[in-house]
Amino acid sequence: MAVVLVTGGAGYIGSHTCLALQEAGHRPVVFDNFSTGFRKLLVTEDLVEGDLGRPEDIRKALSSFPVEAVVHFASHCYVGESYQNPYKYYHDNLLHALNLLEAMKKEGVNKIIFSSTCATYGIPREVPIPEEHPTDPINAYGHSKRCIEWMLEDYRRAHAFEFIALRYFNASGADPRTRIGECHDPETHLIPRIFMAIAGMIPALEIFGEDYPTPDGTCIRDYIHVADLAAAHVAALRRLLAQGGGDFFNLGTGEGFSVRQLLEEAERVTGRKVPVRFGPRRLGDPPALLAKSHAALRDLAWVPQHSSLPVILETAWRWFQKDNRL
Ligand code: UDP
């Protein structure tokens, strides 16, 4: 059993990872400032309310518990916002990661799993995207995540840090037992917005572009269930503790679905019609993003269990109804 500090443990992927760590016999300790996290997503009472902008808060968390490893989720993660406000992404995401690494160094903790993204690849030259694909992000969000990956490599060389960076594709779905699920404010992601349109919370789901070079003209993404992402963190922890790191893994299914396919499946799962309207393309959206996740299968023995489209939408819909008291 390992004590694991989870920054952003009250966020969407962070909270599901805390559950998976607990179920695997570990003890997650949440570090969160609740700027974007939610108390209703807390799955443990082991909580340090603190801010990564304040190094003393992190040192307090690391010294109050016998922490063996850190999972770092806390960051700003809206691509669109990062176009408008690059300062926020460079300043906070980079400074907070640096504060965390320095605090870990001072407290003698050298193992970290980092929540990275397929946005580090930018516009892919090859799809599905292997880990060896060149990284060339096209927005401040992707740049900030790639910079943190570099930090990790430098800390590994200089200070014997061991890291695993997990590059997620489209996180989706909710805890299969509906204890927790996706929450963002504002909510920008496709699946919850489809449900918001169904529930009348927004007038219609806007499809961002129908003229992409894809079979039905809408963007194709690789949707990976959040419980599968959480399981990959547990597997990454096992690997870090057993043999160290220095690795980058893509986490996706390799199978893609278009916006229109998601709408069709959502209508089937909910039995309701989705009101839609067509809008322009969203800045920085590549036509198709799909993962090659062979390395995770090989080195983490990671096989997605919940990532079929029906399971993603069914679990997400159950959570959405519970969360919104529908
Ligand atoms: N999308 C859309 N309408 C929305 C939200 C998203 O058409 O209201 C599209 C978006 O252009 C992308 C896909 O749905 O092709 C997934 O977007 P999301 O924001 O969920 O995840 P991202 O791919 O940006 O990580």
Please report the pLDDT score of residue 129 as a whole number: 98
Q: Is 214 in the pocket of ligand 1 (CB under 6 A)?
A: no
CA of 283 to the centre of ligand 1 (A): 11
| CA–centroid distance for 3 within its chain | 21
> Where in the sequence is the domain holding 287, given as residue range(s)?
190-221+254-323
Whether 23 maps to a domain, the answer reads: yes
CATH number of the domain bearing residue 297: 3.90.25.10
pTM of the model: 0.98
CATH number of the domain bearing residue 94: 3.40.50.720
Boundary (domain end) residue, out of 212, 233, 251: 251
Q: Are residues 80 and 207 in the same domain?
A: no
Q: Are residues 161 and 288 in the same domain?
A: no
Contact by Cβ (8 Å): 324, 199: yes
Kindly indicate the confidence band of residue 17, based on its pLDDT and cuts at 50, 70 and 90. very high
Q: Are residues 18 and 149 in the same domain?
A: yes
Compute the distance between CA of residue 304 and CA of residue 253 in angstroms, rounded to an integer: 7
Q: Are residues 152 and 195 in the same domain?
A: no
Q: Report which ligand 1 atom has the smallest distance to the Cα of 279.
A: 7
Q: Are residues 80 and 165 in the same domain?
A: yes
212 flagged as catalytic: no
- Kindly state the average pLDDT of the residues 146-162: 98
Whether 58 maps to a domain, the answer reads: yes
Q: Are residues 150 and 207 in the same domain?
A: no
Contact by Cβ (8 Å): 258, 95: no
Q: Output the average pLDDT for the chain.
A: 97
When divided into structural domains, the chain yields a total of: 2
Task: Note the pLDDT tens digit of each residue in 266-324.
Answer: 999 999 999 999 999 998 899 999 999 999 999 999 999 999 999 999 999 999 999 99
Please report the pLDDT score of residue 284 as a whole number: 85
Task: Note the pLDDT tens digit of each residue in 18-75.
Answer: 999 999 999 999 999 999 999 999 999 999 999 999 999 999 999 999 999 999 999 9
Q: Are residues 109 and 132 in the same domain?
A: yes
Catalytic residue among 12, 78, 89, 141: 141
Amino acid at 321: Q
Whether 185 maps to a domain, the answer reads: no
Please report the pLDDT score of residue 298 as a whole number: 97
Percentage of residues in the chain having pLDDT higher than 70: 100
* Angle in degrees, 0-180, between the axes of helices 95-107 and 140-159, rounded to the nearest 10: 20
CA of 279 to the centre of ligand 1 (A): 12
Whether 183 maps to a domain, the answer reads: no
Q: Are residues 13 and 84 in the same domain?
A: yes
Q: Are residues 82 and 116 in the same domain?
A: yes
Q: Are residues 233 and 281 in the same domain?
A: no
Kindly indicate the confidence band of residue 14, based on its pLDDT and cuts at 50, 70 and 90. very high
Task: Note the pLDDT tens digit of each residue in 239-266.
Answer: 999 999 999 999 999 999 999 999 999 9
Q: Report which ligand 1 atom has the smallest distance to the Cα of 281.
A: 11
Please report the pLDDT score of residue 67 as a whole number: 98
Q: Report which ligand 1 atom has the smallest distance to the Cα of 282.
A: 11
Contact by Cβ (8 Å): 4, 67: yes
Q: Is 29 in the pocket of ligand 1 (CB under 6 A)?
A: no
How many H-runs (helices) and E-runs (strands) does the chain carry?
11, 14
CA of 136 to the centre of ligand 1 (A): 20
Q: Are residues 66 and 201 in the same domain?
A: no
